[in-house]
Structure 1
Amino acid sequence: MNRKGGLFSQERVKQYVSHTDSTAAKQIQTILAAALRKPAGRPIVVVCIGTDRSTGDSLGPLVGMKLRQLQLNRLHVYGTLSDPVHAVNMKDKLSEIHKLHKNPFVIAVDACLGRVKSVGSFQIGEGPLKPGAGVQKDLPEVGHLHINGIVNVSGFMEYFVLQNTRLHLVMSMATVLAEGLSLTDRTEWRQERLNPFQKLTGRL
């Protein structure tokens, strides 16, 4: 879990998507598609951070598990309920990713705490996130792009709040985010298969 609005809060524009919006998955796909125009041709790696030992912090592994159950073409997924990416193994997992993928574009997914009105929303922004900042852990920054799932309210006894986050909310958010990432995967795969003339004209 990271702290919402941290290092890059004043430097880069962040976009918010409510998981209860009927078009949430499509909104996520649209935002990601725009961001992925820059790293064309690079492998796209999704690092889903968190642990199943904390309800609120299980958002990332739940998203990773749902994505792993799909047949993805472009996205490489790390961090699931059975094989999580968390504080203990973070550095080793990141090292492994960079050995397996040449110059990857990394999308980091993590849970965070925020304002009451933002609970249940996804915050998407450029640049890395700082895992563990919300629970005073010193971990490496992750991602060229980050997606924070705001699962509960920050400000007081945050570790306790994270532990007591409603599972229903986390599961619902994970389903929507996994759908948005799956749509992104299909769009990127389709774009990759276009012939040169189609890429120039923009015709599908």
Structure 2
Amino acid sequence: MSSYDPRMPCRRPLDYVEFGPGLVDDIDRRVIGDTRRRKVLDLGCGAGHTAVGLARRGARVIATDSDTEQVAAARDLATEHDVAIEFHTAGPAELAFVRADQIDLAVSVWALSLVEDLDRVFRQVHRCVRAGGHVVVSLPHPALLTADPDDLTRVVQSWKTNEPISERYVHTAEDLVTALTRTNFAVDVLLERHHGGPTPVTLLARARRLGA
């Protein structure tokens, strides 16, 4: 598996959202656009690079992660760059603190590979996102995670100790589109492009929130 992991506390770009390897750097401008004064929800913020980068671009950001150490690292990064972000220690489907219909854009960078039930997450996101708002999700491409179609999980090990550190769920493009559609989103962008190698690395989808 690729060593890329946006949740690791290393330096990553802040001038664009790095949705994952294999995607061109300006893809965030195409799928997100201008974020000034927009209310953005970052699901699984990890060490905070996406949240801080979007806040530096003028977004009003709410960021969540279930890992307290990751949230602490993200707070430190926000302080370092002097941006105000509302942080919560919570899983991606634990969004009771977000008022209904207040989010313009929800983003998640590779984090939902740690979640088995995508429908549960997207039901909560649908409640939070205003009608016409968007959710943009990137995931490890299933071709990267496993060569066995019957193996729906992948244990990720530390490259230093070889100890298991997380279990990632393999979500196909069909899984992602189906979960979004079932929860009343309309997918308008689906990317599996890859650069620099024969195997796709990142799967990305953008979907518009339907309903009044």
TM-score by length of 2: 0.36
How high is the TM-score relative to the length of structure 1? 0.37
> Which has the larger share of strand?
2
Instruction: Compare the two structures and name the one with the higher helix fraction.
Output: 1
